[in-house]
Amino acid sequence: MYLQNIVKENPLLIEKTIQFHQKGLIPPNTWVIDLDTIAANAEVLSATAKNNNLTVYLMSKQHNRNPYVNGIAIAKGLNKIVAVDVQGALQCGRYNIPLGHVGHLEQIPHHFIPKIIKLRPEVITVYSIEQAKWINEAAIKENILQKILIRVSTQNDIFFDGQEGGFDESELEKVVFELKKLNNIRLVGVTSFPCVNYNESADEQIKITNNMYTIVRVAASLRKMGFSIEQINAPGNTSTNVMHLLKNHGATHVEPGNALIGTTPSNAFRNNLPEKTAFIYLTEISHFFRNRAYAYGGGVYHNAYSNLITALIGSTWEEAENNEVEYLDKIKQDIDYHMQFVPKTGQNCKIGDSVILAYRTQMQMTRSYILPISGLSGKRELKLHYLFDHANNALDKNLYPVSPEIVCIDIEKLIKTY
């Protein structure tokens, strides 16, 4: 899917990954992230946002909130992080990453709210008056005024299954009446998701959804009610080629995620975009059974584009470059202990070979390692940084956790080279 982009634009990422894997320096089931490409993507996203007078909150779940990626992206102008859940917010705190937005796709559980308030997020999205009251109570104890957004919708808006929630537009006056009773929160904006949608095909039609019109309309109503509305937050498929569209339709804040790592739907079908694919997935051939080659799993994330995935397999870049093997995307497993491939006549796969893939993912949903690597652009020393487990713990050479303080020191040193 995105593999050919990497082969064309950044083959050194594949070559070095295979070398390091064959030397035992990178384990199978690892996302290898090119930080130099992350920095370049962050720069173009930041510049485009500024040109459109948009504020960015970086969605970090796609790269499992990795602090190297977050740190470099923020240093290059992507403001603060949007945490899709409590785990993401707490991980920002562990690595001193500034938190911009929390509570949108997943509300903050009641007894976690005081912990999140201590992290001082810029805004918290609420779906209910109960949630607003709990935030108000925590804000009173912290002696702060916490800004909030409300998620609003109408019958014609769209949601992904399992992500529904928020206030109906028809409830607005009732909601405002209740919120005005709470002295330590301040309503500053509205949000919904998704505000942009793709049709998931090669013609790549990008459309503003009805959700966008709803939040703009509600923002106008709130202003008439006397609220100073600072945010019309419009997340969903945000990249450089849609920011002008969002701005023209009234957005003030956007939340790119896949764009930073170069896995938007546009990246799947076009190779002339400013954002480049910034990572590959590495695993290893484990064994053979009948006509199939089995590789260690842990990173499978099925989506609408799974049928476009192939792998390069070999023990060197020269072996792998022209050895593109079919991935069996139709194999749906409760647990992906293995990925399965079907070599054709003339394709060579050996036990222990490196397996390289690049596909649309959300790394926080996998049980994979993550390895940030810098220097592939030739502008700084080539370096493998800390390997991270799926819970975002940095690991030493014995795969034991390293303190976040030590990791933060390394990140700060690295940022200075960018």
**Structural domains in the chain?**
3-34+273-416 (2.40.37.30), 79-255 (3.20.20.10)
DSSP string, 249-292: TT-SEE--SHHHHT-SHHHHH-S--SS---EEEEEEEEEEETTE
Could you please report the per-residue DSSP string of 71-130? Answer: HHHHHTT-BEEEESSHHHHHHHHHTTPPEEEESSSSPPPGGGHHHHHHT--SEEEESSHH
* Per-residue tokens: 393: 């713990």
Looking at the predicted structure, is the pLDDT value of residue 303 above 90?
no
186-224: pLDDT as tens digits? 999 999 999 998 765 555 578 899 999 999 999 999 999
> pLDDT value at position 206?
82
d(CA 355, CA 166): 43
Give the whole-number percent of the chain exceeding pLDDT 90. Answer: 87
Which structure tokens are listed for 306? Answer: 């799974």
Burial of 28 from C-beta contacts in 10 A (0-12 / 13-18 / 19+): buried
pLDDT score at 197: 86
Average pLDDT, the chain: 94
270 contact partners, CB below 8 Å, separation of at least 6: 204
* pLDDT bracket for residue 383 (50, 70, 90): very high
Per the structure block, which two tokens stand in for 251?
């957005």
Residues 91-106: tens digit of each pLDDT: 999 999 999 999 999 9
236: left (phi over 0), alpha (psi -120 to 50) or beta: left
pLDDT in tens, 308-350: 689 999 999 999 999 999 998 877 778 899 999 999 887 889 9
Question: What pLDDT is stored for residue 204 in this prediction?
Answer: 57
pLDDT for the residue 218: 98
- Give the mean model confidence (pLDDT) for residues 371-396: 97
Quick one: pLDDT at residue 329? 80
Return the pLDDT at 334.
80
- Tell me the pLDDT tens digit for each residue of 42-55: 999 999 999 999 99
Find the distance separating the first CA and the last CA of the chain, reported in whole Å: 29
Q: What's the pLDDT score for residue 306?
A: 55
Amino acid at 162: G
Residues making up the chain, counted from first to last: 418
Q: What number is the average pLDDT over the span 298-316?
A: 81
Q: Would you state the pLDDT for residue 305?
A: 56
pLDDT at 265: 82
Please tell me the predicted confidence (pLDDT) of residue 308: 66
Average pLDDT on 173-195 reads 97
Residues 109-144 pLDDT 10s: 999 999 999 999 999 999 999 999 999 999 999 999
Mean pLDDT for the stretch of residues 273-290: 96
% of the chain exceeding 70 in pLDDT: 97
Supply the pLDDT for residue 331. Answer: 74
| 201 contact partners, CB below 8 Å, separation of at least 6 | none
CA distance 128 to 131: 5
